[in-house]
Amino acid sequence: MRKVITGEQVAQLYNRDPFALPAWRAPVYQTPAGIILLVQLFRLLGWLVRLIARHPAAATVLAVLALVWFSLGWPGLAALVACAVVSLAAWRWFWPVSFARWISSPARGRWRAWCYRRRWAGVMAISGAAPSHQGQVVLPVLGKVTATRYTDQMAVRLVSGQSPADVAKHAEALAHGFGALLCRVRTARSGAVVLEFVRRDALAALVPALPIPAHPDLKALPVGRREDGLPWLVKLHGTHVLVAGATGAGKASLLWGLVRAMFPLLQDGLVKVLAADPKLMELAYGRIIFETYGAYAASPVAIAAMLDQAVADMQARAGRFAGRQRDHTPTREDPFVVVVVDEVAFLTAYQPDRKLKERIMLALATLTTQGRALGYAVVAALQDPRKDVLTIRNLFPDRIAMRLDEPEQADMVLGDGAYDRGAMCELISPDPATGAGVAFVRLEADPDPVRVRAGWVSDIDIREMAAACLPEPEPAEPIGWPEVAA
């Protein structure tokens, strides 16, 4: 049994002045070195168990490498590494999608997470995004980091009492602190936000027209590229789309991109396009496409007649669907109808004929309020997004804002708060090589704007689609030579 020295004994032993007050001290216990070593060993084992549980793949790889090293030596280890490298290269070459999902994307995310965690405390404190409480800086908690070739998204749990607007005020400082081009604060669940850092601009170069899909989906039509490098998919079935942009912003490329993405469905008779082209410029170049698979109108009178006929057909379809079905599935008997209106402001605000203007407005309002469930979609493009120009602006659930002239116009098109969320449409370059087709998209289900760029559909691409609409010429009969009498 070990000897215990109490505080009174320590005070009596080390106090040489008999008249001084005793200096009371805690008892001193001498822990054996074996117990200390055993405790540290258990701590090491616990750390290894947690490390293996958190990183099972890395632990398995290290275990296999160690086993091969002790069994076969360095030649076996070199052969194993060479086989692994060849297998990964073949996987990357033949199955790039699955390789990106299981290998490159997780690895990139872990690397970027380590880079952000290393600088997290300093950048958050210096930028002012981390509040202070009782003289101490309280850091938001950094969660999972998802990285692509162009953007990084990180989940952040806010400090109690902190709002997403408090972080958004320091977005520019955060972008500079982490070496990114841009930082956006996106909404998430209560008490959390998603910080999106743009490291490389995927939309700096011109995006060529995407290939015509073999099996188009009306709820996901590929028309361009998103800021994170993924394809930009536009939904038409079950919604209406409003496109706003200044002159030369690239609205025509988006409209032709939608037609190009739907072209196989047009040829199959499952989709019909009604084109209203009051400018007689953009849609007229492929007029034969609309006349073959729908209708084309240019004058205000013809446009009004076409829209009235569309409303009548829609209401007739509603009478047939009543009590039988609640949603529309495209068929040859009841195709999906897309009403494309280029420069709708000329028909709704700048039209001198008041009766004709009211007639067109009534038809568009009827189509946008009743056509979603009946297989009718309206795609309207305009330059001036003010409310007095298009009074039915709120009837379009999905909106696309291209280059605009004033910062306030971004909120007019995309809704209140869109500019604060990063939709700076007035900063889009007017240079066609760098800014044509660039836009911010706000969907009905997501209030956060997403930066995209529409593919540029050239005149050659339009002529190729128009050539496919022409009937094939019948082969000429061979010219017979007259028989010569013997």
**251-268 and 459-469 are packed helices; what angle lies between their axes, rounded to 10 degrees?**
20
| CA pseudo-torsion sign 236, 239, 240, 241 | negative
**b or e along 185-206 (b: 16 or more beta carbons within 10 Å of the residue's beta carbon)?**
bbebeeeebbbbbbbebbbeee
Splitting the chain (486 residues) into consecutive groups of 10 residues, what average pLDDT does each group show?
52 60 66 87 90 81 82 81 86 86 86 93 92 89 91 92 89 92 85 91 90 92 92 93 91 93 94 92 89 93 94 93 84 94 87 89 93 93 84 90 90 86 87 90 85 93 88 56 47
| Number of other residues whose CB lies within 10 A of the CB of residue 267 | 14
Q: What pLDDT is stored for residue 476 in this prediction?
A: 54
Note whether 103 and 91 are within 8 A (CB). yes
Q: What pLDDT is stored for residue 176 in this prediction?
A: 93
Q: Which of 294, 279, 202 minimizes the C-alpha distance to 247? A: 279
Q: Specify the 3-state DSSP secondary structure of 461.
A: helix
Q: What pLDDT is stored for residue 365 in this prediction?
A: 93
Q: Which of 413, 422, 405, 398 minimizes the C-alpha distance to 223? A: 398
- At which residue do the structure tokens 């509040």 appear? 131
% helix, strand, coil for the chain, step of 5:
45, 20, 35
Note whether 304 and 356 are within 8 A (CB). yes
Q: Which of 301, 221, 318 minimizes the C-alpha distance to 262? A: 221
Beta strands in 95-149 (DSSP E): 132-133, 136-137, 141-147
Q: How far is it, in rounded angstroms, from Cα 321 to Cα 315?
A: 10
25 burial class (0-12, 13-18, 19+ CB within 10 angstroms)?
Answer: middle
Length of the chain, please?
486
Note whether 245 and 401 are within 8 A (CB). yes
Q: How far is it, in rounded angstroms, from Cα 332 to Cα 124?
A: 58
What DSSP string runs through 396-435?
-SEEEE-S-SSTHHHHHHH-TTTTTTT--GGGS-S-HHHH
CA dihedral 386, 389, 392, 396 (to 10 degrees): -60
- At which residue do the structure tokens 């995006």 appear? 207
369 burial class (0-12, 13-18, 19+ CB within 10 angstroms)?
Answer: exposed
Strand pairing partners for 28?
A: 5
pTM: 0.78
| Number of other residues whose CB lies within 10 A of the CB of residue 172 | 12
Q: How far is it, in rounded angstroms, from Cα 220 to Cα 231?
A: 10
Note whether 406 and 426 are within 8 A (CB). yes
Encoded tokens for 475: 């082969």
Q: How far is it, in rounded angstroms, from Cα 422 to Cα 414?
A: 11
Note whether 249 and 425 are within 8 A (CB). no
Q: How far is it, in rounded angstroms, from Cα 395 to Cα 56?
A: 52
Q: What pLDDT is stored for residue 16 in this prediction?
A: 67
Note whether 107 and 123 are within 8 A (CB). no
Q: What pLDDT is stored for residue 484 in this prediction?
A: 47
